[in-house]
Structure 1
Amino acid sequence: MNKKISPENILLISVKPEFAEKILRGEKTIELRKSAPKKVDIEDYILIYVTSPVKELWGICKINKIIKDNPVNFWNNHGSKTGVSESQFKSYYKTNKNAFGIELKEIRNFSKFSIELKHLKKAFPTFMPPQTYSYVKRNQINFGILKQILNKIEDKPIFNKGG
C-alpha cells in the first residue's frame, strides 16, 4: 500500500452492535470486508462507528495488517479471529473470490463515553455514517472532543498535537 497517502487519513468503519461489542472485548480482532481500504496502511487509525439502533462512536484502534486471501484459506487461517461462525463467513463471501480482513490492534474502548451521532456531526463537520467504510481527513476533525474522551480512557492521548 502507498504510505504516502495515508498519514492524513483515518478509516471510519460501520459495525453492527454485536460485532462492535466483540471487537471491544477482544473476541474479534479481524474485521471482515468485501473490499480492502486503499487510502490507509498499517499503523493508521480506525474509528469504530456502531450502526443503528446505537448510532455512536465506540472505539478507536490501529491497523495491524490488511489481509487478502480466497475465502477458504482465509477462514482456515484466520476464522477464529473474525467473531463470526463459519456459516456466517461463508454466507458473507458466497459470491466473492477474495476475502479481506483488517487485523486490529491497540483497541481503545470508549463506549462508556460514546459519541452520539448528533455530537459526531460537531466533531466531524462533514460526518456521514458510512455503509461499510469511509475516510476522514485529519484536518476535518475537531480533535478537541475526541481528545477529551480519549484522555478519560488512557493516560496518554492517542493523537498528539500535530494531528
Structure 2
Amino acid sequence: MEQGTHIQVKTNIKVVRFGGRDLIPSEVRLRHLQQLVEESEDLYPGIDVWFRRKVVPELKSRSLRSALVLYDGAEPVGAAVVRRDKDAKLCSLRIREESQARGLGSLLMSLVVAEIRLNRAEEIHFTIAAHMWEGAIGEFLKRYGFEFKGLAKTQYRRRRKKMLPLFDSDPEFACSAPFSAVWRNVEEKLSEGFENFTLNGSFGDIDILLSIRPKFARQIVKGEKRVELRRRFSEKWRGARAVIYSTYPERSLVGEATVEEIITGAPDEIWEEWKDDLGCTFEEFSEYSSGKTQMYAIRLGAVIAYAVPIPISQLEFHVSGNLPVPQSYVNLKKQSKWQSALKWGSILSANR
C-alpha cells in the first residue's frame, strides 16, 4: 500500500426493532433497552417502574408501542421508545454520549419517523425537562421542527417528592411538531452519518441496480445462481456493488451482490463454461442469447439477502415520486431520487 493511503472502514450498526407488528422481544434485548432507558433515572426517578409496568407489557402485546435499539458490534449504543398513533409520542430517545458525534442521533430519528409514518401520524409530541430543551438535546430536536408549546400538563417528576425542589426552576415542557415538518427535516438530514456506517450489513455504497426476473433473483440471494447473463454490459462495473431488483410481479429489492468478474464470449463458450452457475435451462439460455455473437457472464459474490424484500412502492411512498427501473441495469450514482430511496431502503430494512 502506498504511504499516505487511507481506507475508510464503515462501522456496521445493527438495528433491532420490537413491538407492534413484530415478534415479542427477547429478554436480552429488553435488558439492553432497559439499561439505555434507565440511564435517565437521575432526571426521571421512577422511570424503571414506568418501563416495567407500561413499556414491557405493551411491547409484548403488540400494541402501538414500539422500541428500537442500535448496536455497535455487541454494544447497545442508542434506543428509542415510541407510541405510534395519529398523535404520536416520542417517549424516550437516547444515544450514549460517546456515540453522539457519529450521526447516530440523526439515524435514530430517521428510524423513529419511518416507524411513525406507517400509522399516518399527523403530529409528534414529547415532554422534556426545561434545562434539556435549552441545551444540546433541545437544539438537536429543534432542527427537526419541534417547538415549545407550554408547560406539560403532567409533570412526571413532580410526582416524586425528592424532585419537588427542582420543579420551579426546571419544569417539564410540552413540545411538538406537525409530522409533515419533521418528515421534511428528516429527508434533508438523511445522509448525515451514512458515510460512516452501514445498517444491518446492507445498503452500503451501491453503484448499480440489476433488474432480474423473480425466479433468478431468488436463486441469486439463495446462493444457487452465481452468474448472471447480459446481452450488453460494461467492463467498468467490475468490482461494483449491485442491488438486486426482482421484477414484475414482485417489484422489490431482494438483496445485494458484488460484480466480481465480467466474462465475454460467444454464447456457446459462455454456456459450456458457466452452465452449472447460470440457474437456467439450455432452452432458456438459447432463447435469451438468440441472435447475439457475444454474451456477458457476470460472476457475482458477497451476496446479501434482505430479511424481507422491500417493495418499490414503499420506497416511492417515502421519496414521494416514481422510481424508474431499467430492463437491464442502471447507474444509481447518477440517479438522485434513487440515492435517496436507497437510504430509505436502509431505514426500512432496519425497521423490519
Normalising by structure 1, what TM-score? 0.77
**Which residue pairs with 1:118 in the alignment?**
313
Give runs of aligned pairs for residues 79-158 of structure 1, distance below 5 A. Answer: 79-110=275-306, 112-121=307-316, 122=318, 127-137=323-333, 140=336, 141-142=339-340, 143-148=342-347
Unaligned runs of 5+ in 2: 1-204
**Which residue pairs with 1:158 in the alignment?**
none
Give runs of aligned pairs for residues 57-96 of structure 1, distance below 5 A. Answer: 57-96=253-292
Higher RCO structure, 1 or 2 (CA under 8 Å, sep 6+): 1
8 Å Cα contact 1:48/1:60 also seen in 2: yes
Unaligned runs of 5+ in 1: 1-7, 154-163
Normalising by structure 2, what TM-score? 0.37
**Which residue pairs with 2:14 in the alignment?**
none
1:50 and 1:92 map into 2 onto residues whose CA distance is 18
Larger Rg over CA atoms: 2
| 1:147 partner letter | S
- Structure 1 counterpart SS, 2:211: strand
1:98 and 1:46 map into 2 onto residues whose CA distance is 23
1:15 has 2:212 as partner: yes
Change over 3 Å in CA distance of 1:16–1:50 after alignment to 2: same
Question: Offset of 1:58 from its aligned partner?
Answer: 0.6
| 2:333 partner letter | K
8 Å Cα contact 1:9/1:39 also seen in 2: no
Give runs of aligned pairs for residues 31-50 of structure 1, distance below 5 A. Answer: 31-37=228-234, 39-42=236-239, 44-50=240-246
Change over 3 Å in CA distance of 1:138–1:75 after alignment to 2: same
Which has the larger share of helix? Answer: 2
2:320 and 2:245 map into 1 onto residues whose CA distance is 13
Question: Offset of 1:102 from its aligned partner?
Answer: 1.2
Instruction: Give % identity.
Output: 24
Question: Offset of 1:100 from its aligned partner?
Answer: 0.6
| 1:107 partner letter | V
Change over 3 Å in CA distance of 1:9–1:145 after alignment to 2: closer
CA-atom RMSD in angstroms: 2.5
1:124 and 1:67 map into 2 onto residues whose CA distance is 39
Change over 3 Å in CA distance of 1:25–1:9 after alignment to 2: closer
How many residue pairs get aligned? The number is 144
Per-residue Cα deviation, 1:74-107 (whole angstroms, up to 9, x for no partner) = 1111111110111211121120000112111011
Question: Offset of 1:120 from its aligned partner?
Answer: 2.5
Question: Offset of 1:40 from its aligned partner?
Answer: 2.2
| 2:207 partner letter | I
1:100 and 1:109 map into 2 onto residues whose CA distance is 24
Change over 3 Å in CA distance of 1:16–1:61 after alignment to 2: same
